[in-house]
Amino acid sequence: MPVKDEDRKIVEKLFQAMHAGPNGADLMESLFAEDAEMIEPFSGQPRKHQGRDAIMAFFRETMKNPPPEMNVTLDRLDMDQDRIRAEWTCTSSAFPKPMRGYDLYRISDGKIQHTEVVLTEMPPMEA
């Protein structure tokens, strides 16, 4: 099933906000519902951020020390049952090979209500 155009634009705007780093914070914040939740694995285990303020606090903390020359590419966008699935690739000069994964989104009333980040390929980190 194809992704609705208005939902596609929301996900594409989220990726634009990530590319902008700290300058994309206002755009990112505008895309999440006040009571949104985000589950991410970047601390080594799945961690849930409940509410837009918590999601934005995580984003701002992450953007304090991003990997150099980081680039996140939206590779594919599809419907996965009642969710949008966004496959992506993340590259950085700090990674020996790209990181890959996908995000699952639920969008309601033009805002992201739920997102879960899943890593499918994590590059080995050099010691």
Task: Indicate which CATH number applies to the domain containing 90.
Answer: 3.10.450.50
Q: Considering the domain boundaries, does residue 12 fall inside one?
A: yes
* pLDDT at position 77: 94
Residue 80 near residue 3 (C-beta atoms within 8 A): no
* pLDDT at position 1: 61
Q: Considering the domain boundaries, does residue 77 fall inside one?
A: yes
* pLDDT at position 80: 77
Q: Which domain holds residue 82?
A: 5-121
Which residue, chain included where needed, has tokens 């780093």?
21
Q: Considering the domain boundaries, does residue 126 fall inside one?
A: no
Q: Considering the domain boundaries, does residue 127 fall inside one?
A: no
Can you give the pTM of this predicted structure?
0.89
Closest CA relative to residue 63, chosen from 22, 15, 17, 19: 22
Question: What's the number of domains the chain is made of?
Answer: 1
Which residue, chain included where needed, has tokens 């208005």?
6
* pLDDT at position 111: 97
Closest CA relative to residue 76, chosen from 66, 86, 64, 84: 86
CA distances to 3, 48, 66, 73 from 26, in Å:
25, 21, 18, 20
* pLDDT at position 67: 85
Q: Considering the domain boundaries, does residue 48 fall inside one?
A: yes
Mean pLDDT in each 10-residue stretch from start to end of the chain (127 residues)?
85 93 93 98 90 96 87 91 92 92 95 96 71
Q: Considering the domain boundaries, does residue 97 fall inside one?
A: yes
